[in-house]
Structure 1
């Protein structure tokens, strides 16, 4: 039996009650769970501080000092033991409030002690409360705990069972003493040698109890490598299996629809990145394998045109196509964009959403089944069982992270041979995240805006510059432009001192009164019909200012809108600020984004606003967002499950991830079936995975 699958109740020092509380508080069930409960930091006990070097901000210090006095002060509740110790640079005060009698008896004035604890200051003098103490014996072999001491996550409940960081240390040490020899290697020797990795057993020993800082670093590199390696191995193996399992329809010609659109209807010249992506899609759809491609592109970069032209290739080859979007607003925008590009007499385009009337649905369903309808745009309504295609060959999924896996796969099953899939996102994804979230997809990037688009000018105003902002709004409205004003909340919150929509409407109504100015109001709690009515008023230029919540983040396309004002901008994430800014800059005129904030800014808040002012590059912004928030909080990553990395950090371990990815790609190029003797250990990992166990089992 694998010793690491043994329940923790059987580890010496645990017992039934401790096993239960470890399970409940930290989800630690087995020896392996405890071994993979890694320290979150280390206390450096490898050095001694001089008294004069002590600073209050230091987490812990270790000092070698001679006891010069001890005294019990106060009565009853205020009773305390105060001991003074001295080195050649100054005096430190040691204080105890509990166990006073016993401690006072054991401390010997005149002797030198190793003192360890959290430093503070009282009356300008350095101080330690309840320090650890050990008598210093000159010439003795082992003096103090001269190591990097692990610190583990614990809880108040665990501390009641003496399972604070010290208690967890003891259990982990006991298990390693007993079972470190049972930790099996899971990487081929040639990889360990190539990347100069620590062996697995030593890595686990040194992640918990480092011999020194160098060994700790080597242990971290080894275990991070392993974590990223098996993630990439799984993703690339799945990609390989997908190409072997799913055949795809071959689009072997470019015909009338594509050529007519490209030569006679396309109102602008494609950018080089758009041409490159079209070429990549063209190559994919000629291979006889189902395409699975992610198309990343900033707001306004021209993804929809690329999607449409790819769909026209599918239609030229006798297939039907569809686009699925997460919201009715976005689906309607795609429908209107495509209709305006192809015109009324070129090809029929239909829209299917929850609002589509029953009689229109019947006609639409029949045209789909007959094969007459070639382009269908819609929401989740597309995956309903009633929606049947005659020959679906190409599917575009927009903002796909908002759909579940099962929802997406329902679309794939609407044809005997699965349709080619193009996944689009306007949320720029950092390269490291794309390699983990979408590592089994081919990735295309449109990283250039169409010619003639002027970069949006972004400024940051504080509250005392509000009158200047109002004056600028009036100038733009006088030029015939329109303005968005976005608030983070609908109603006032007692917890957050934020401008809210209701106050905003009142302030805007005072500053921009009827009949000279008209406002549209849009928020998430409105009925869809009311929301659409207000949006349509703004689109038709019947109103000049749209006061809204973030409901307009995706899906509103008004080329005449030239100003985006974001209230309490410091409260928004970077990707959300970037998405909101992307609502303007869609016409030929210069557009602006004004970030309003209070003077009280956190360090992260300041970095976010400075980043927005400095750059319009969505990919640069996404990298900074990843560093600030971490991968688990980036939009769309929570449901993926692949960012649950224990040690590796996608923001800081980019170089390691790229090395690992290249290594795995090389392995599959040389040995796609993992059949070579040196890769048997990796082949076994797949068998373990297929048995429903984790990839990186200890044994």
Structure 2
């Protein structure tokens, strides 16, 4: 149960001043529908309105707050001319300038002969001192309405900053104090304020420095969020580990057959990762390990050898993939080697229906399949194994803790879990997202992987790109053509892809195929199969589709509007080529004018193929929010942490979380009870649910 002190934090925003049925959607779009969402929507900067000069002493270009008397109104002579209000103080005249203003409203706001306090950017124009569209115009009696230090929030369409601030003020006035969950020694050492005062100082800052990531209140709140995440994962880790695992010790026979069938030897990194996994499998505590490896680094073969070890020991194994395309790709790469060594492999996706599905489930339950590959369909209630002992979760960041626990519950005698990700993740984020897992990294590329020639080209030269693609296709090459991300809109993405598809069809006819997220699985697979078999030469795709097919013959990747993508995503897409023996090229087509950050991103792509270096740069350039490309369901949502500024707090939080769990696993001490508030407040309460479910 959520602690009672938090009920107000999770109350509906409609209880707040200025929030109603008409603007509720805008509030939800911006932050969310509860008070806690409002108070965790923190300002990005602040405007200092404390400069209070006389008119003729005010510095040009400054934000000035000035006491004046309204002298006269000068309505606009025509629609294009401004409406002016002449004001003065004892030192001189100030002109207030308004475009497209309503005269009746202005006369009401600024009555002639009355005093007003005006705040805005002051300019000198043709020997006049003026403020265009003042930010605030208040009567001296209402001067409290004018914030001397005004926080500026990221906003959304349909909601004014004034309405948001009014509702936020109501939320901040309502929330109660919470018990302190940090040690006195830590609070003293770091000189941190308590939780609620930290929030209040961010939203009602005394100076602009309070809002920066380095300020004491902001660091304290970032640490709260990090500790909540680390504590949740530490509890899950400890519960998993305390469950008596089983020792899966194989005799090596199946592994030897698979290794003998491989056309190459494992790299040093693959050997190391496999050794770590086998050691975990053979131990008697449950394994929880993450294998990180760049696109094409050979994670799948390591996973297959680990599954073979589990089967040698008499258990079944499963691979859970986030999409059907990835599940089928695993089947295609694993099945020939596995079946050659006598392993029985099956595929289960949402497309398995009716009697064939039931027959597959019966066979699985009878223990007649050794390895099951599939999508979320694997974790449905009616899927039963005879003896599941080892699970591999591909693209680990797509799945939440809950899904991992559901899969684990299908094992009768304990389970070992290996997460895999092809998204290189910076070390700070690995610690944060996967604090509950041991990590193996594969950084070497297998022999035979070709370097990829990456070039950045302005879209003015698109016809040159087309000419190059035409020559390459004539010589037998295959091409991926990825269409741009359009403001996160799937429909616009689709329109862009369809337009490009039609344009390419005019040149290449039926040699072009199109895949996008709105297609049915069967249709998608049919196009993919044609591309894999070489029946079509160019595959046009939107970014919503996993271009997860392994086509060694594809040697050219064209990415339109590459400046709109994050580094991690560009790197993932580029990794689709360079898989065969042919020389591969990646063309990053950019807009004519791009910003500084986008320019840096494209430069890094041109200079490096090291996914881990690229991930660190991605984090530095754009923060953590989108480090893994589009938002993923299994990812915690960080609102208060700035990973570039708060990296030092991550290990601190991890160490603190492990200490808490070692001393007070059930969170029953005084501090433990306070920490329960922290977990529920940041919605990291999987750990508590796990404790209660045993």
- Describe the SS at the equivalent of 1:583: coil
Do the aligned partners of residues 290 and 486 (structure 1) sit closer, same or farther apart at CA in structure 2, a change above 3 Å counting? Answer: same
Superposition deviation, residue 292 in structure 1: 2.1
Deviations 1:621-659 (A, max 9, x none): 4445555375268457453473153x2233543233333
Matched, 1:235 2:236: no
Aligned partner of 2:395 in structure 1 is 399
Which deviates more, 293-302 or 122-131?
122-131
Deviations 1:222-270 (Å, cap 9, x if unpaired)?
A: 22222322332232123223322x22221234522223433x2333232
Judged with a 3 Å threshold, the aligned counterparts in structure 2 of structure 1 residues 159 and 76 are, in CA distance, closer, same or farther, namely farther
The separation in 2 between residues aligned to 1:362 and 1:173, in whole angstroms, is 55
CA contact (8 A) 1:321 1:392 kept: yes
1:117 has 2:111 as partner: no
Residue number in structure 2 paired with 1:110: none
- The whole-number CA distance in structure 2 between the counterparts of 1:385 and 1:172 is 41
- Where relative contact order (Cα < 8 A, 6+ residues apart) is larger, the structure is 2
Choose the corresponding residue for 1:218, options 216, 219, 223: 216
SS in 1 for 2:113: helix
**Where does structure 2 lack aligned partners over 5 or more consecutive residues?**
686-694
Residue 691 of structure 2 corresponds to which residue in structure 1? none
Task: Report whether the alignment pairs 1:73 with 2:74.
Answer: yes
Separation (CA, whole Å) in 2 of partners of 1:409 and 1:173: 37
Q: TM-score of the superposition, structure 2-length normalised? A: 0.78
Deviation at 1:286, TM superposition (A): 3.1
1:326 to 322, 325, 328: 322
1 CA distance for matches of 2:528 and 2:191?
A: 60
Say whether the 8 Å CA contact 1:568–1:595 is kept in structure 2: yes
| 1:53-72 correspondence runs (5 A) | 53-55=59-61, 61-62=63-64, 70-72=71-73
Give distance in 1, aligned partners of 2:125 and 2:329: 65
Instruction: Evaluate the alpha carbon distance shift between residue 105 and residue 462 of structure 1 in structure 2; reply closer, same or farther with a 3 A threshold.
Output: same
| 2-structure distance, mates of 1:156, 1:470 | 39
What residue number does 1:139 align with? none
Question: 8 Å contact 1:320–1:392 — kept in the other structure?
Answer: yes
1:396-452 deviation per Cα after TM superposition (whole angstroms, max 9, x unaligned): 122244456665544323321232111222223344443343333333322232233
What SS does the aligned partner of 1:429 have? coil
Distance 1:535 1:153 in 2: 41
Q: Is 2:650 aligned against 1:657?
A: yes
2:439 is matched with 443
Q: Does 1:453 align with 2:449?
A: yes
Instruction: Kindly indicate whether residue 87 of structure 2 is the aligned counterpart of residue 83 of structure 1.
Output: yes
Whether contact under 8 Å (1:553, 1:583) holds in the other structure is no
* Cα shift at 1:218: 2.0
Residues of 2 paired with 1:85 and 1:235: CA distance?
A: 62
Could you tell me how far apart the structure 2 residues matched to 1:405 and 1:443 are?
Answer: 17
Give the Cα separation in 2 of the matches to 1:119 and 1:505: 53
Q: How is 1:292-311 mapped onto 2 (pairs within 5 angstroms)?
A: 292-311=288-307
Q: Any conservation in 2 of the 1:8–1:31 contact (CA below 8 Å)?
A: yes
Match 1:616 to one of 600, 603, 609: 609
Whole-angstrom distance in 1 between the partners of 2:514 and 2:635: 37
CA distance, structure 2, for counterparts of residue 235 and residue 615 of structure 1: 33
- Structure 1 distance, partners of 2:452, 2:74, is 68
What is the TM-score with the length of structure 1 in the denominator?
A: 0.77
Contact 2:117 2:139 in 1 (8 A): yes
* Superposed displacement of residue 459, structure 1: 1.3
Q: State whether residues 298 and 427 of structure 1, in contact with CA within 8 Å, keep that contact through their aligned partners in structure 2.
A: yes
Inter-partner Cα distance in structure 2 for 1:406 and 1:396: 15
2:35 and 2:676 map into 1 onto residues whose CA distance is: 22
1:39-67 Cα distance to aligned partner (Å, 9 max, x none): 55422245568968533xx7xx12679x7
Tell me, yes or no, if the aligned pair for 1:42 and 1:149 is still in contact at 8 Å.
yes
* Aligned mate of 1:277, from 261, 270, 273: 273
Structure 1, unaligned stretches of length 5 or more? 108-112, 137-141
CA contact (8 A) 2:459 2:589 kept: yes
Task: Say whether residues 1:261 and 2:265 are aligned partners.
Answer: no
**CA gap 1:5/1:523 in 2 versus in 1, 3 angstroms:** closer
Provide the C-alpha distance between the structure 1 equivalents of 2:665 and 2:493, rounded to a whole number of angstroms.
59
Q: Distance in 1 between matches of 2:516 and 2:37?
A: 45
> Distance in 2 between the 1:586 and 1:155 partners?
43
Q: What is the CA–CA distance in structure 1 between the aligned matches of 2:15 and 2:379, rounded to whole Å?
A: 52
Is 2:531 the counterpart of 1:545? no
- With 319-328 and 378-387 compared, the bigger mean Cα shift is at 378-387
In the aligned structure 2, how far is the partner of 1:328 from the partner of 1:498?
20
Partner residue of 1:105? 113
**Does the 8 Å contact 1:248/1:418 carry over to 2?**
yes
Q: Which residue matches 1:556? A: 549
Which of 521-530 and 30-39 deviates more? 30-39
What is residue 532 of structure 1 aligned with on the other side?
Answer: 525
Cα RMSD for the two superposed structures = 4.8
CA distance in 1, matches of 2:504, 2:319: 38
> Are 1:247 and 2:244 an aligned pair?
yes
Preserved CA contact (<8 Å) 2:43 2:154: yes
Q: How far apart are the structure 2 equivalents of 1:361 and 1:175?
A: 54
| Match runs of 1:95-244 below 5 Å | 98-99=106-107, 104-106=112-114, 116-119=119-122, 127-128=130-131, 129-130=133-134, 148-150=149-151, 165=165, 184-200=179-195, 202-212=197-207, 217-244=215-242
Q: Could you tell me how far apart the structure 2 residues matched to 1:635 and 1:362 are?
A: 37
Cα–Cα, structure 1 residues 527 and 240, in superposed 2: closer, same or farther, change >3 Å? closer
More off after superposition, 40-49 vs 224-233: 40-49
Q: What secondary structure, in the 3-state scheme, does the structure 2 residue paired with 1:338 have?
A: helix
Kindly tell me the number of residue pairs found equivalent between the two proteins: 657
Cα distance change, pair 124–416 in 1 and its aligned pair in 2 (3 A): farther
Matched position secondary structure for 1:225:
helix
Give the alignment partner of residue 682 of structure 1, picking from 671, 676, 682.
671
Structure with greater Cα Rg? 1
100 and 544 in structure 1: CA distance in 2 versus 1, 3 angstrom threshold: closer
